[in-house]
Structure 1
Amino acid sequence: MDRTAEAALLGSAPAGRSDRRGAAAMAAALLLAFAATAPFAGQQLAAVPAFVPTCNAAIVILDLITAALLHGQYRELGERSFLALACGYAFSALLAAVHGLSFPDAFVPGSLIGGAQTPAWLWVGWHGLFPGFVAAYAALAWRERHPRGGTVAGASPRVTRRAMLTMLGLAAAAILAATAGMSLLPELMAGSVYRSPATRAFLLGAWAGHLTALALLVLSTRGRRVLDLWLAVMLLSALIDLAISAILVNGRYQLGFYAGRVYGLLTAGVVLVILLRQAMRLQSGLVRTLAALRESEARLALIFEVLPIGLGVMDTRGTLVLSNQEMRRFMPGGVMPSRDEARQWRWRGYHPDGRRLAREEFPGARALRGDTVRPGIEMLYTQDDGHETWTRVAAQPLRDASGRITGACAVVADIDAFKRTEAALRASEERLRRVLETEAVGVLFFDWTGTLVGANDVFLRMTGHDRVEIVTRRLTWRHMTPPEWIGESERQLEILAATGRIGPYEKEYFLKDGSRRWMLFAGRDLGDRTIVEYCIDIDDRKRAETALRASEARFRTLVEGVPQLVWRAGQDGGWNWTSPQWTAWTGQDATASLDHGWLRAVHPDDRDAVLAAWRQAAACGGFRAEHRLRHAGEDRYRWMQTQALPLRDAMGKIVEWLGTCTDVDDLRRLQEEQKLLLAELQHRTRNLLAVVGGIAGRTLATSASLEDFETRFDERLAALGRVQALLSREARPGEEARPGEGALAVTLDELVRLELLAHGVDAADRRVQVAGPPVLLPGRSVQLLALALHELSTNAVKHGALGRAGGSLAVSWTLHVPENGGAQHLCLEWREDGVPLPAAAGTHRGFGRELIETSLPYDLGAESRLEFGADGVCCRITLPLATARVATD
């Protein structure tokens, strides 16, 4: 038995530190108790004869249990030291039983067995011979730790019988000597008093025997085992028992006599207690071990079930007695194929020459005949759905201790994927062989010196070389590589040495005729100091790429030169490229404009409309939107027209959009001005026709004849023409039309002086005074006010201050706010002096008076008043600033 198993048994448990401390504490307690009771050992107490048989009965039970446990240790470990100790405890039990029965006055008056000296001699024989068994234990234990042959003989029923018979013979001899041979022995007792010195000599001999046994035990075992420690404690207790119950007293029923019986109980029970305590520990460990074993068995059962291979154990009839789920998949009937008539047809195996295996040649059948079938036979298994699965079946016979075959162990592995992969690999290798012969891929082999050692026909045709050059090893990659590509080729070889792979990389190659062609290379180290490279002729592609780059350069130059912002976008409107014009225009760099970042440059109010147009672009076949875009240089938004067309692939699917942004801000402003100009032209034409019609009607109503009408009408049309010429002149620097009016504004000063000049009166004439702040008159109010000034000027020339000597004219205007509040007003005053007027001068109502007092208030919202004084005419006209404004606004 190995040391691990020995340590799990009661008697062989090694002593630990706690065990030594416990034994030492027990020994110290025994010695303290002895020291406390020894001074009073000779004190006489009442006689209780039944006390001795009672104690002896307990000792008998304890010793017999201890003997049984020690004998069990002997059977398990085979160490005869345990057998000797078991015999000692059995001997002690026998002597203790007879001693109790022989004790005087315990059961009957006098002794039940033997005579008066029997109890004393039985006690001496009991305590005198028991140390011999302990000494035998110590001697045998030392020999068992140092066996001559290296092993312990082991337990033997014959040895056990001999030991027990020897023990029983010794016990019988002691009992017979103390009973039947009592007359031959010296007297040890005189009543209940020990006879000296013979009694003490025998008692000291027994005490010396215990001490000798203790010394042998300590020297031979060194307290290595728990049992050894507590045997020493037991011997110490026995020494104290002998000392206090026999040596320190001189008769029965003294304190030492009774205390000795207690020590006797301790002596009998100390080993039993430690054995039982160890048994409890081992039982607790056993429970834990069993729990762990059950858990381990559960894990093993789970592993057994989930193994990807079928495992099964069969008896000699071929019936599965243990199997996992994978095995039951292949043997659902629970019988191996060669013995299963109903399912035998599902299994097929073949010899290397193609012959089908007979069922006697199946692995299971061979294993039951004693053959070991490993690594197994490949067999086809037909499933219920008709699918055939490749398996590998192995089997091995199971034998008992005598070598007789008791069954077989079989393993079934599903190798269907492997077999089919193997077949696919062969097919792949065949395809690869054919690929290597395709017209598109050249294959060459070279060694680490750079010499070509092989090539396919495609490579030879691509380069113009022949196979003789390959066979004679006249070609090297350096010979075929232009000088400027040597460095790149060497770098690729360094990568090959580090990684085992090369390329893909491109380079030019010399053909046999000295011309060059571009080729793409990739390869790897085959591991046998040979390198394989695959090459593809890409010369046409490289030339096309060169042409494409040139085309792209021209396109880039064109794009960057147009006065538009060019961009490209994905299907969702996210931009993926912008031209430099975009960054220059918006200040947004190319990265920020990617995806939908370009929308940040669009006016926030226009973004939803732009996105809506994008959502409709695919359905409409194009994108078009007008929106405002921030101009970084001007720091304002300008109107842009953005449009894009889709680029489609061969299937008609949109792959991206190409678009432009065109600045239409100036165009939109000119269009707005054009609209205003047309509106103004229409308005002025309608107004002019209305004015002409009004002038004609009023002139006709006040004319005496057609000649008079013609003269007056011409003069008034001339005045109207002068106004139109003034309104239609080109703008002076800094001058502009008023918003919403379309025509240039006219200053009031300019209008007054022009009308006076038309009547031959220079504004520099001393008779004329013109004064007032600069005020601009809008085109729609100039016509009526000019006609009013014309009528006033005509009247002043014909009848007033400008037609008579001594007359004077003052034209002035001011700006003021009415007393009732509101907007500013323009107040114009025409005053003539030095012209005596008749009393009836203000009663005539002609064209001029109607114009001033009726048309101006109606058409311009003016307030006008004519006064005819004794010294001349005064006309006051007040216009709201809605129709007139200060020229410096």
Structure 2
Amino acid sequence: MDGDGSPPAQPIRGEMAERIRAYDWTATALGGAETWPPSLKATISLILGCGFPMIALWGRNLIQVYNDGYRDLMGLKHPAGLGQPTRACWPEVWHINGPIYERVWRGETFTFEDAVYPLTRSGSLEDAWFTLTYSPLRDDSGEVAGILVTLFETTARVLADRALRESEARFRAELERQVQERTAELQASRDLLKATMDSSMDMIQVFEAVRDASGEIVDFQWLLNNHTSESRYGEVSGQSLLERNPGVVQEGIFDTFKRVTETGQPSMAERRYVHEQFDGWFFQCAVKLGDGVATTTKEISAWKAAQEEVFRLRDEIAQAALHESEERFRALARLIPVLLWRSDETGQHNSLNEAWLAYTGQTLEQSQAGGWIDAIHPDDRAKAGQVFRAGREQQRLIEVQQRIRRHDGHYRWFLVRQAPIVDAEGQVTQWIGAAMDIHDLHDLQERQSVLVAELQHRTRNLLGVVRSIAHQTMVQTGPTERFREQFNDRLAALSRVQGLLSRSEQEPITLRTLIRTELEALGGGDFADRIHVAGPLVRLRKASVQTLALAVHELATNARKYGALTTENGRLSVTWRADRDAFGGGSLLVEWIEEGIRRPRDAQSRMRRGYGRELIERAMPYALNAKTRYELGETRLLCAIELPLGERFGEMSTA
């Protein structure tokens, strides 16, 4: 299968490839094949395409996945061994393999030649010999995630060698016992031994030690070569090893032969020999034979080349997967309109998107090794550093609000988050971070705080006005039905004012709007032909609306109950004009004129002493710095209010 889990254009064929595709992996610790990481998929594709027996042990449970060559070595343990933890499949050798697996999991690689394993693969326990290599398999993040075992069975050769050695031992004992009597039989046995040796495809040689006067081994000479060895060396019997192959000194082979001869301890070694007529990899076993050594040498150049190709392909696949991951991150980073970055496990930046570089004006080099902190507002750097250090130490999500400098020197508020990416072992391998512009939201929150404070201030003022209205009305009416009527009427006027104030952000309050609102609330539409309202556009400041609205309400109420709107010939005129001075200030004159009124004497008395007149003549001068004039005659009423334009009251606009 391909590295991305999809079937390749030309799928790998063979029994094990089909079995792996058909196997229900969801019943194992590996999970469904569609969830496998690219490194596992690449490893399986690799072993299925290799002619050597290979098995991959994946995950801490060491789940078995093997190729056709390994299947032939399993005997009756196949097919149950596929997808099975290796300890459950091979319990008889766990005491051997268990410690090896632990060291390989820590990153070590081991090669064993002719290692013996007691196996139960044909129904009974039997010894088998293998030449094998254990090497770590790493996941996409470079951590060890499994073990690759490459091997071939050498049981037949080992048994043949053992039989040969046993035969040599019997022959040697017999030779020593009968050396004086059986010279002829010795020669026949030598011929027989050579014939046996010639049947081997490996190079088999016998060397005799050459000693100086002190008994020190100074050379070896050939005693015997099999046919395979002669095809390489030619006829070399009796020749000096050091003269014919001086490279054995440089490669340590001469010292090995001396040690085996002197200690009797056999030696097995894998070497690359590039001397004389040789250029390749060889596996050599040396055992003591008389005063010398017998060696069996097998060329393993093809096997080593295959092993190196396996590792090369594995690394190539891993690099390709890493490159693909990098490209995906860069493509995603270019699409997302936020500042993105990716850091290594220590928190040092190693990749940023175009948005960060374009916004800050930094180069990629300037942002490395903590250089990004220069783009943070000086007042926010200490907090940012503390939050990031704590997050990395605790391996948790990092979140902080901070100001980041734009390339033009302007700072904007950002919501910054950075999250850890962990591997299967729970270790942080990298950090992914993003910064989102929340400057407008931050300003809105500050404005909201100001508005809430203003609302609280207005509410306190409004409660003060309500208490004042209640007190003044009670003074004039006492706790009677008339008090309830007038108090509710004035609260309704106050409510209308609050309605205008609530819409003032979207719809500025004008003097004309305020006057029309009060007149229409008292039924002014029924007297539209007798009411004249005129004047320029004047926008009122919020602080002045409440007091002015209550004054207009009192005037309108009196006009409706006692004034010009109570008679058929009555007329009401509300006009205003503004005078500007050279300093941007000036004054606004509002004139309320009622003509054609006829009032009972008690009504005139109430108007002279009423709440409305007190509001106009006392409250407005105090609250708005106004100048007022109130003239009430038998048929005419004039109320003139002069207000200062500017910061305290309002402004005139011709728009």
TM-score by length of structure 1 reads 0.36
Larger % of strand: which?
Answer: 2
Bigger Cα Rg: 1
In the superposition, the TM-score normalised over structure 2's length comes to 0.47
